[in-house]
Structure 1
Amino acid sequence: MARNYVRENVPLSRFGVLVAQLESIVASAAQQPPDPLLCFDLLSDLISAIDEEPKCEDALYSLLTLGAKRPIRHLASIAMARIISKGDGISIYSRASSLQGFLSDGKRSEPQRVAGAAQCLGELYRHFGRKITSGLLETTSIVAKLMKFNEDFVRKEALLMLQNALEGSGGCAAFNAYVEAFRVITRYAVGDKSFVVRIAGARCLRAFANIGGPGLGVAELDTSASLSVKALEDPISSVRDAFAEALGLLLALGLNPEAQVQPRGKGPAPVAKQIEGGLQRHLILPFTRASAPRSKDIRISITLSWVFFLQAIHLKYLHPDSELQSYSIMVMDMLHSENSNDAHAMACVLYILRVGITNQMTEPTQRSFLVFLGRKVC
């Protein structure tokens, strides 16, 4: 059990006692590995007690790089971000730089230590990404290095860090940083042998779509969509669901060129254009061509992609609900002659019409849509 080191006659607040305990644990780590339950309870109390300018960043940094397990890393990362947000004297730039330096020198024989630093840097990007956009290129290079680790949890943490870095930067970093990030995702993540890493890769593609696809042209968006469609054949349902969401959001971005972000810096910035025939290639044809033995899984995933696409069109890109009716024709056309009597295919189409279209319409638009459907069916 860690002892409290308190100077005589110098009263400490509750927070000060917790910091002293944390520093004691870190100082004795060389002789005795930290007790996970003790660390978890201590960090939980520490986070709830942050009400002043604390002085425990170095202890948290040491705990993260000692090789703590993920729950401990998670709490320590949150504590670090909250401390900095309270106005700590340690600059976010220097703290991010020290973590990048640690990761650049990280050894494959120390996966837990590397994962801890990656998780903390990702948390800092999530909170302060726009302040440290200059480091995004170096961070993506670090991710490429970490993707070569044998441990899947390191590769997963690397991609989660990249996801947080992309979302935190909001498209404000340099052009070549996004190009490198896209290369890492498509080359290493989407085809990884571990399903948790593939899910993390899908979330990175989703992050790209959410921030406007900086550095991506029509070709890159189309490639991302093609990779997502291919991933819908994955045997793991959670992987299919993650890529289904990414596919829908990427296609919605591809049909809204005015929302595509052009990053700063040198480089042949891609011209914002609409993906021509994207819905036909990536949603309609995969649905109609789905064949046994995984046809139902693929159709369900395509159905989810349609819903994510339609919701993004209306809620994110603010197209009026009346425009959703035009997509219903494409949805119903998926019931071609070969599967017009297929109950599963029909159920998927009805789900898209209800959740993706009707549920987003106002009552007057719904009435008009019902009249339209009646004429279409007849």
Structure 2
Amino acid sequence: MATAKKNYARDNVPLSRFGVLVAQLESIVASAAQQSPDPLLCFDLLSDLISAIDEEPKDSILLWQRKCEDALYSLLVLGARRPVRHLASVAMARVISKGDPISVYSRASSLQGFLSDGKKNEPQRVAGAAQCLGELYRFFGRRITSGLAETTSIASKLMKSHEEYVRKEALYMLQNALEGCGGLAAAAAYTEAFRLIMRFGVNDKAPIVRIAAARCLKAFANVGGPGLGVVELDTSASLCVKAFNDPVSSVRDAFAEALGALLALGMNPEAQVQPRGKVQFPPAKKLEGGLQKHLVSPFVKASGVRFREIRICLTLAWVSFLQAILLKYLHPDSELQDYAAPVLDMLQEDTTADAQALACVLYILRVAVVDQMT
């Protein structure tokens, strides 16, 4: 009787703007078997839906939340195009956040189930589900940390896809999951995630996937490198330096940012996270000699056809490192001047006449030291 009364109440309440948009979305999904949803129509509708979620009161959202979630899920697993699946994923996270957040558990579980089902391997569908799951982690990661191990396993499977955009979405999903969970998930999940990034992501043949892998490494550093010791930090930093030989500039830039974040974490052992689990990790230690090994020496020794690009990447890594030292790890800005000496060490006697080397050093000192101290 109570359920019937509740449904009757919804049926007799005038449709809000949010309710109208949900009904339109349901209609599009219902007719998808006969006619593929028009991407432009879906894009406009989802844009309006997100605005309505922000503007509607919570009571109105609660009234239509389940129908909205179901319609968005159906649209995603139908195989929406990238702009549409992005908006659908954002709308899913927003409606759960504004309405009843408890549904994030069942929705994340259903997305994981869809992605784990090997029969449903149509690339557009997989990409949509992966993007939505990543968005849920971005909003609710602390609530669904227990699912990180399965999500990492799903990402490993998706990395075998022939479609580069599926592999990219797999790593973006993993990045959001790492950032959303912080260092609160089980140790085994982080170990597997790091292995996946290092073994497959950074060596992928597609530039967009390598960029996603670099962002995953940066995410690892930003959440305290759970489960990473000095060996793993040193290995990943060396890999970033190696990536500066990549022919694609956006890939090099992404690894430069990752290198700065990893070295900043290595210099702050008190910020390194020890994840929960049966495995006992060694005590956190400072990455001794990390700046000399990964920033100074590669700059001095840069050679080959891309030596200029390598120097620029190391310059960007220095800036990323020093910004993290000040803004993330909250060192006093007076400490920045202590890093001027190793920066100047990059100017050897035989490079003082090298205009590019001098320009790089001056850029680091101005942008990462002087500007941050003023």
1:263, CA displacement in angstroms? 1.0
Q: Which residue in the other structure is 1:121 paired with?
A: 133
> Which of 228, 248, 251 does residue 216 from structure 1 map onto?
228
> Which of 105, 108, 115 does residue 117 from structure 2 map onto?
105
SS in 2 for 1:56: helix
> Which TM-score applies when normalising by structure 1?
0.91
Q: Which residue in the other structure is 2:41 paired with?
A: 38
**Does residue 49 of structure 1 match 2:52?**
yes
User: Taking structure 1 as reference, are residues 169 and 191 closer, same or farther at Cα in structure 2, changes over 3 Å only?
Assistant: same
> Which of 146, 170, 173 does residue 158 from structure 2 map onto?
146
State the distance in 1 between where 2:299 and 2:232 align.
Answer: 22
Quick check: 1:106–1:114 contact (8 Å CA) kept in 2?
A: no
Quick check: 2:184–2:276 contact (8 Å CA) kept in 1?
A: yes
**Does residue 191 of structure 1 match 2:203?**
yes
State the distance in 2 between where 1:228 and 1:338 align.
Answer: 26
1:87, CA displacement in angstroms? 2.6
1:268, CA displacement in angstroms? 2.6
Give per-residue Cα distances to partners, 1:146-193, cap 9 Å, x unaligned.
Answer: 000010100111101000000000111111111111001001111110
Quick check: 1:175–1:269 contact (8 Å CA) kept in 2?
A: no
Q: Which residue in the other structure is 2:6 paired with?
A: none
Quick check: 1:108–1:149 contact (8 Å CA) kept in 2?
A: no
**Does residue 266 of structure 1 match 2:278?**
yes
User: Could you say what the CA RMSD is over the residues aligned between the two structures, in angstroms?
Assistant: 1.6
> Which TM-score applies when normalising by structure 2?
0.92
Give per-residue Cα distances to partners, 1:274-323, cap 9 Å, x unaligned.
Answer: 11111111111110111131011000000010111111112211222222
State the distance in 1 between where 2:185 and 2:122 align.
Answer: 30
State the distance in 1 between where 2:172 and 2:269 align.
Answer: 27
Structure 1 residues 226-235 or 129-138, which shifts more? 226-235
SS in 1 for 2:79: coil
1:34, CA displacement in angstroms? 0.6
Letter in 2 for 1:283: L
State the distance in 2 between where 1:121 and 1:36 align.
Answer: 21
**Does residue 27 of structure 1 match 2:39?**
no
State the distance in 1 between where 2:332 and 2:48 align.
Answer: 48
- Written as runs of structure 1 = structure 2, the 5 A alignment for 1:280-359 is 280-359=292-371
State the distance in 2 between where 1:89 and 1:218 align.
Answer: 38
SS in 2 for 1:341: coil
Letter in 1 for 2:71: A
Quick check: 2:185–2:275 contact (8 Å CA) kept in 1?
A: yes
Q: Which residue in the other structure is 2:20 paired with?
A: 17
Quick check: 2:234–2:290 contact (8 Å CA) kept in 1?
A: yes
Which segments of structure 1 move beyond 3 Å, counting only runs of 4 or more? 7-11, 106-109
SS in 1 for 2:258: helix
1:35, CA displacement in angstroms? 0.7
- Written as runs of structure 1 = structure 2, the 5 A alignment for 1:228-267 is 228-267=240-279
> Which of 172, 180, 184 does residue 184 from structure 2 map onto?
172
Letter in 2 for 1:62: S
> Which of 133, 152, 161 does residue 173 from structure 2 map onto?
161
SS in 2 for 1:338: helix
Identity %: 76
User: Taking structure 1 as reference, are residues 258 and 10 closer, same or farther at Cα in structure 2, changes over 3 Å only?
Assistant: closer
State the distance in 1 between where 2:11 and 2:365 align.
Answer: 72
State the distance in 2 between where 1:58 and 1:349 align.
Answer: 55
**Does residue 134 of structure 1 match 2:146?**
yes
Give per-residue Cα distances to partners, 1:238-260, cap 9 Å, x unaligned.
Answer: 11111001001100100110010
State the distance in 2 between where 1:335 and 1:18 align.
Answer: 62
Q: Which residue in the other structure is 1:366 paired with?
A: none
1:339, CA displacement in angstroms? 1.3
1:71, CA displacement in angstroms? 0.7
Give per-residue Cα distances to partners, 1:190-237, cap 9 Å, x unaligned.
Answer: 111000000000100110111110111111111110110011111111
1:337, CA displacement in angstroms? 2.1
Quick check: 1:43–1:79 contact (8 Å CA) kept in 2?
A: yes
1:107, CA displacement in angstroms? 4.4
How many matched pairs?
Answer: 356
1:269, CA displacement in angstroms? 1.8
1:341, CA displacement in angstroms? 1.2
Letter in 2 for 1:332: L
Structure 1 residues 144-153 or 53-62, which shifts more? 53-62
Q: Which residue in the other structure is 1:365 paired with?
A: none
1:9, CA displacement in angstroms? 8.2
Letter in 2 for 1:35: D
Higher fraction of helix: 2
